[in-house]
Amino acid sequence: MMVDKSSSRGTGFAHPDTEQPFAENRCVHGLFEAQVRRNPDAIAARFEQGALDYATLNTQANRLAHYLRSLGVGPDVRVGVCLERSLDMLVGVLAILKAGGAYVPLDPAYPKARLAHMLADSAPRVLLSHAAARPALLAALEGGAALAPLLDLADTRLWAAQPVDNPDPHAVGLTSRHLAYVIYTSG
């Protein structure tokens, strides 16, 4: 429905006092980092019995992002995420964006053939998973594409010593015009 500004008053269609200019070249993780600076101790996310404040989420994502960069993740490089919904999934997606990569969601509940197609088509440089989702991922890779490095997000030892600072997007030439995600639809 199209409504001009004068007709929309009081209808809930327009919110003129909430419009904010948006820097065209600002990436979503940059907006998150600004929120971290404003409210580091505030809860950023809750899931089931767990919660992460902004500072902790940012630190975990930064360490993983630096490690992902060391594995060659950068602008337009796809990273598969085969996880059940969790706080680790949020850390993983944010880390991929901070590294400059593109997030490819891979639902471990998908049929083997569907996962195999998505993996072959997207050719992720790295795969993020958990032990529970690993069998579905490995089954989908049988006889198919070469196995990319497979990181278990529950085991942070590989990236625990990485820097906690925000990765510099300019170091890899990252802009808001690069891929953020690759989604496969059912239609």
List, for residues 91-129, the tens digit of each pLDDT value: 999 999 999 999 999 999 999 999 999 999 999 999 999
Q: Are 153 and 128 in contact (CB under 8 A)?
A: yes
Q: Which CATH architecture has domain 26-172?
A: 3-Layer(aba) Sandwich (3.40)
Q: Are 65 and 79 in contact (CB under 8 A)?
A: no
DSSP 149: P
184, with CB counted inside 10 A (0-12, 13-18, 19+), is middle
Cα separation, 135 vs 140, in Å, equals 9
- pLDDT by residue, tens only, the chain of 187 residues: 444 455 445 555 555 566 666 666 777 888 888 898 999 999 999 999 999 999 999 999 999 999 999 999 999 999 999 998 999 999 999 999 999 999 999 999 999 999 999 999 999 999 999 988 888 888 888 866 567 889 999 899 999 999 999 888 888 888 888 889 999 987 5
Q: Are 81 and 105 in contact (CB under 8 A)?
A: yes
Q: Is the dihedral of CA 31, 34, 39, 41 positive or negative?
A: positive
11, with CB counted inside 10 A (0-12, 13-18, 19+), is exposed
Cα separation, 113 vs 162, in Å, equals 36
